[in-house]
Amino acid sequence: MKKTGYYGEWGGAFIPEVLYETFEELNAAFTQVKKDPSFWQEYVSLMSTYSCRPTPLTFAENLSDHFGGARIFIKREDLNHTGAHKANNVMGQGLLVKKMGKKRVIAETGAGQHGVATATMAAKFGLECTIYMGEEDVMRQRPNVFWMEKLGATVVPVTSGSKTLKDAINEAFRDWVTRMEDTHYVMGTVCGPHPFPEMVAWFQSIIGKEARTQIMEQFGKLPSRVYACVGGGSNAMGVFQGFLDEKTVELIGVEAGGKGLDSGQHAARLAGKDASAGVAQGYKTMFLQNDDGQMMDTHSVAAGLDYVGVSPILTDLWKSGRVRFAAATDREVMEALDLTMKKEGIIPALESTHAFVQAFKEAGDMNRDEALIINMSGRGDKDIFTIAHAFDDPSWKAFITQKGAEYAS
Ligand SMILES: *Cc1c(COP(=O)(O)O)cnc(C)c1O
């Protein structure tokens, strides 16, 4: 018999006993709305009036001609309110919280993007909101902290441990245990204990549903390949679900290769060799950890991909061979970002650009009567300082300038 909340051997719900009842309540509420078509209708209507859905599917004609192979289409999740696909998840959970009658939401955030999205949702729905954030991250992500507070949220700097994301996760769970009756924990991605992976994947499936309809309208047939970057895996699961049942459509997840897969400074769980199976943060997946189960320090130029775990759903799809995994290095990301800006007038987030890197490597070898879709999870405005710094770095400047000349010719 299939155990609930498992994808193959991955997933589950490893939670403290005090949370059993809260999880049962959440499971019941989610199960009910999932089979109620009017809830999905309400969700779609909210997203079309508050967050620009359906987001466009853009034909990238210049990039397609540049590589001379597959026709490249970009799914524009950057045009969501707050600038990324995260809006889909938080607004969906907001509707669910309203149904459950809870008055307060909490979340943890690393780079701050999920914190801003959650604070936005809380303002819209009239909920009290507390965001846990490592003290290190509070200092590094000043603009996001500013907006969370202006949106009415309380930001709690976490000073324990390494003062980053994993400590913030522990602190948020501690809060939840003390205030379960009126509080919902807004999980940011398709990770954590069941039912979070299933729930977040369900809300994000709106991306794939739209993309499938749009590519049929614009191209007349299914794409050969669909690319998405993978942090926790929510934007990838979102777009992949539109094509999972079509065996002719290849699905490619792209992780953070950081300074290279052999450098020890990356966040490639499934594309690299450094991860192993483990249970942490309430679920079982492949974690970047040492032999003692101690989590490793990860690195990526894109803060949103810098995470030790990965969705149990994706780990299962990787094991079964349905989803192929690749990694893009920081340097490859800057190069692809430069090309995309110059050719299409589009500024993808550094996270999203990882998917562009792999698509660019493969597009030229595909036929002109094939299409590929890149899921552009978010916009790059937030990355302005990182991008400016990278393009100013003397060792990269020569590299980018030389590439610029190549693109112009
Ligand atoms: C948070 C974020 C990601 C990573 O999250 P997933 O759950 O893997 O989608 C990717 N892109 C952007 C723009 C983000 O803000």
The pLDDT tens digits for 163-183 are 888 889 989 999 999 999 999
> What per-residue confidence (pLDDT) applies to 395?
66
Give the mean model confidence (pLDDT) for residues 343-370: 98
Give the mean model confidence (pLDDT) for residues 174-201: 96
Q: What is the pLDDT of residues 280-305, one digit of tens each?
A: 999 999 999 998 888 888 999 999 99
Question: How many Å apart are CA 313 and CA 367, to the nearest integer?
Answer: 31
Question: How many Å apart are CA 125 and CA 153, to the nearest integer?
Answer: 13
Q: Is the CB of 349 under 6 A from ligand 1?
A: yes
Tokens of 154: 């309380």
User: Is residue 398 very low, low, confident or very high in pLDDT (cuts 50, 70, 90)?
Assistant: low
CA 134 to chain centre: 20
Sheet holding 154-158, edge to edge: 154-158, 128-134, 104-108, 183-185
pLDDT at 2 over 60: no
Q: Is the CB of 234 under 6 A from ligand 1?
A: yes
Question: How many Å apart are CA 380 and CA 378, to the nearest integer?
Answer: 7
**20, exposed or middle or buried, with CB in 10 Å at 0-12, 13-18, 19+?**
exposed
- For residues 201 and 293, the model is more confident at 201
Among the atoms of ligand 1, which is closest to the Cα of residue 349?
A: 13
Please give the C-alpha separations between residue 400 and each of 267, 352, 359, in angstroms, as whole numbers: 24, 19, 19
Query: DSSP for 27-53?
Result: HHHHHHHHT-HHHHHHHHHHHHHHS-P
Most confident of 17-21, 171-175, 359-363: 359-363
Cα of 356 from ligand 1 centre, angstroms: 14
- For residues 137 and 85, the model is more confident at 85
Question: Which fold would CATH assign to domain 22-48+84-196?
Answer: Rossmann fold (3.40.50)
For the chain, domain boundaries: 22-48+84-196, 54-83+205-408
Q: Is the CB of 207 under 6 A from ligand 1?
A: no
Contact 108, 132 (CB under 8 A): yes
Cα of 205 from ligand 1 centre, angstroms: 15
Question: How many Å apart are CA 103 and CA 196, to the nearest integer?
Answer: 19
Cα of 233 from ligand 1 centre, angstroms: 7
Cα torsion 325, 284, 190, 144: sign: negative
pLDDT at 348 over 90: yes
pLDDT at 409 over 80: no
Q: Is the CB of 352 under 6 A from ligand 1?
A: yes
> What per-residue confidence (pLDDT) applies to 406?
64
Cα of 87 from ligand 1 centre, angstroms: 11
Cα of 162 from ligand 1 centre, angstroms: 22
Among the atoms of ligand 1, which is closest to the Cα of residue 236?
A: 9
Cα of 30 from ligand 1 centre, angstroms: 23
- For residues 264 and 162, the model is more confident at 264
Classified as helix, coil or strand, 312 is helix
Cα of 408 from ligand 1 centre, angstroms: 31
Q: What is the pLDDT of residues 216-254, one digit of tens each?
A: 999 999 999 999 999 999 999 999 999 999 999 999 999
Give the mean model confidence (pLDDT) for residues 51-74: 98
Cα distance from N-terminal residue to C-terminal residue, the chain: 60
| φ/ψ (deg, to 5) at 302 | -105, 110
Identify which of 234, 254, 273, 206 has the alpha carbon closest to the alpha carbon of residue 362. Answer: 254
Mutate to test the pocket of ligand 1, among 226, 377, 386 (most ligand atoms within 8 A of CB): 377
Q: Is the CB of 118 under 6 A from ligand 1?
A: no
Query: DSSP for 237-257?
Result: HHHHTTTTT-TTSEEEEEEEE
> What per-residue confidence (pLDDT) applies to 1?
46
Give the mean model confidence (pLDDT) for residues 78-104: 98
> What per-residue confidence (pLDDT) applies to 390?
86
| pLDDT averaged over every residue in the chain | 94
Contact 86, 114 (CB under 8 A): yes
> What per-residue confidence (pLDDT) applies to 27?
97
Give the mean model confidence (pLDDT) for residues 268-282: 96
The tokens 């610029």 sit on which residue?
A: 404
- For residues 405 and 315, the model is more confident at 315
Catalogue the active-site residues: 86, 108, 377
User: Is residue 64 very low, low, confident or very high in pLDDT (cuts 50, 70, 90)?
Assistant: very high
Q: Is the CB of 84 under 6 A from ligand 1?
A: yes
Q: Is the CB of 229 under 6 A from ligand 1?
A: yes
Q: Is the CB of 130 under 6 A from ligand 1?
A: no
- For residues 2 and 204, the model is more confident at 204
Q: For the chain, how many helices (H) and strands (E)?
A: 15, 14
Within 95-214, strands assigned E span: 104-108, 128-134, 154-158, 183-185
Question: Which fold would CATH assign to domain 54-83+205-408?
Answer: Rossmann fold (3.40.50)
> What per-residue confidence (pLDDT) applies to 293?
87
pLDDT at 139 over 90: no
Contact 258, 404 (CB under 8 A): no
Least confident of 34-38, 93-97, 131-135, 397-401: 397-401
> What per-residue confidence (pLDDT) applies to 405?
62
Question: How many Å apart are CA 50 and CA 45, to the nearest integer?
Answer: 9
Tokens of 80: 């969501």
Q: Within 10 Å of residue 180's Cβ, how many Cβ atoms?
A: 17
> What per-residue confidence (pLDDT) applies to 401?
67
Least confident of 142-151, 173-182, 400-409: 400-409
Contact 128, 122 (CB under 8 A): yes
Mutate to test the pocket of ligand 1, among 85, 89, 254, 310 (most ligand atoms within 8 A of CB): 85
Mutate to test the pocket of ligand 1, among 108, 189, 387 (most ligand atoms within 8 A of CB): 189
Specify the residue with its C-alpha closest to ligand 1, atom 7. Answer: 234
Q: Do domains 22-48+84-196 and 54-83+205-408 have the same CATH topology?
A: yes
Q: Is the CB of 233 under 6 A from ligand 1?
A: yes
Helix-strand-coil percent breakdown of the chain, rounded to 5?
50, 20, 30
Query: DSSP for 13-26?
Result: ----GGGHHHHHHH
Give the mean model confidence (pLDDT) for residues 201-210: 98
Q: Find the helix or strand (DSSP H, E) in which 279 lies.
A: strand 275-280
pLDDT at 94 over 60: yes
Question: How many Å apart are CA 270 and CA 332, to the nearest integer?
Answer: 19
Among the atoms of ligand 1, which is closest to the Cα of residue 188?
A: 7
> What per-residue confidence (pLDDT) applies to 399?
66
Specify the residue with its C-alpha closest to ligand 1, atom 13. Answer: 378
